[in-house]
Amino acid sequence: MSTNYEPEKYLPTIDAILSVANLEEITVKKIRNALQELFGIDLSPNKKDINEIILNRYYDLIHKREEESKKQMEKQDALLAAKLSREENGGRRAAFRQARKSAAKVEKPKRPLSANNVFNRQMVLSADLQAIVNKERLSRAQVVKHLWAYIKENNLQNPKDKRQIDCDDKLQNLFKKKSVDSFGMNKILSKHIFKPEEVGDSTTASAPKHDEEQDEESEEGEGEEEEEEEEEVEEAEEKVEDGDEEMEEDSRVSTKSSSEEV
């Protein structure tokens, strides 16, 4: 098995896996194991780095899907507004025929992601991070969403390079830098996000294990439970993202208009 570690080479494969995977069930370890099989490489020496890369690509996908969903909703709102305007101006029948020809697509209700998944488990935040997001606990994806909302609201992205963040006082307290790029920002964030049991939070310390542990126990037996728990801690520590929140890909169905009035 090869040991030639080439992270850039794995990005298309990671993206392909995430694009077809059930985001409620996929885990970092499953993707990492798939890469090892596909490329014939032992990723153990670079485990933490590849985990961060996988998480980063996951959050990129979430951000992209949210932007696409927002654009689709804006398009539907515009179509509806145009239809109502035509009806108010006496063109109701014509508007109905046009609406029937271009039946709008609507989104299915989004299923909530599993609370046990490493991507959306509620975590305890450091004081510096709380000062920015105004929350004591958030999932990793929610942290990313709130942080980027703060950055955009305060116009902290470098106009010449949107990936570069110019830190204000609060962000300097968090990152200990005057500027940071999106990748470096998310690596530093992992030091400010903790599992409840790591900080002695008895109210949530007994939260159920995430899906990866359950999968591994069913496949390998109780004898490897301790190893899985250690791996969960490592995966939970690696948090990276370039964009905003957790969600499955929006599926769409066509809706039919009601019968034309006689």
Residue 77 resides in a domain? yes
Contact 235, 28 (CB under 8 A): yes
Contacts of 244 (CB under 8 A, 6+ apart): 59, 62, 63, 66, 144, 145, 148, 149
Total of domains in the chain:
2
Alpha-carbon distance of 254 to 101, in angstroms, equals 12
For residues 14 and 99, state if they share a domain: yes
Q: Tell me the mean pLDDT in the region 26-31.
A: 91
For residues 101 and 135, state if they share a domain: no
For residues 23 and 92, state if they share a domain: yes
Give pLDDT tens digits for 170-189. Answer: 999 999 989 988 767 777 88
Residue 179 resides in a domain? yes
Residue 168: pLDDT over 90: yes
Q: Which of 70-74, 144-148, 156-160 has the lowest mean pLDDT?
A: 70-74
For residues 103 and 127, state if they share a domain: no
What's the pLDDT score for residue 46?
A: 92
For residues 87 and 159, state if they share a domain: no
Residue 42: pLDDT over 80: yes
Residue that finishes a domain, picked among 40, 74, 107: 107
What's the pLDDT score for residue 21?
A: 84
Residue 113 resides in a domain? no
Query: Which of 18-32, 71-85, 222-236 has maximum average pLDDT?
Result: 18-32
For residues 90 and 128, state if they share a domain: no
What residues make up the domain containing 166? 123-206
Residue 202 banded pLDDT, cuts 50, 70, 90: very low
Phi-psi group of 109: left, alpha or beta (phi > 0 → left; psi -120 to 50 → alpha; rest → beta) = beta
Residue that finishes a domain, picked among 206, 226, 247: 206
What's the pTM?
0.39
For residues 102 and 137, state if they share a domain: no
Residue 57: pLDDT over 80: yes
Contact 122, 237 (CB under 8 A): no
Q: Tell me the mean pLDDT in the region 49-74.
A: 83
Mean residue pLDDT across the chain: 71
For residues 138 and 184, state if they share a domain: yes
Residue 131: pLDDT over 90: yes
For residues 99 and 141, state if they share a domain: no
Helix axis angle, 7-20 to 28-39, nearest 10°: 120
What's the pLDDT score for residue 32?
A: 93
Residue that finishes a domain, picked among 107, 141, 176: 107
Residue 245 banded pLDDT, cuts 50, 70, 90: very low
For residues 36 and 102, state if they share a domain: yes
Residue 146 resides in a domain? yes
Residue 258 resides in a domain? no
For residues 133 and 186, state if they share a domain: yes
Residue 4 banded pLDDT, cuts 50, 70, 90: confident
CATH number of the domain at 191, please.
1.10.245.10
- Of 75 and 260, which is predicted with more confidence? 75
Residue 169: pLDDT over 90: yes
Residue 102: pLDDT over 90: no
- Of 121 and 83, which is predicted with more confidence? 121
For residues 93 and 148, state if they share a domain: no
Contact 156, 176 (CB under 8 A): no
- Of 127 and 163, which is predicted with more confidence? 127
Residue 233 resides in a domain? no
What's the pLDDT score for residue 101?
A: 66
Residue 94 resides in a domain? yes
Alpha-carbon distance of 225 to 96, in angstroms, equals 61
Residue 222 resides in a domain? no
What's the pLDDT score for residue 1?
A: 66
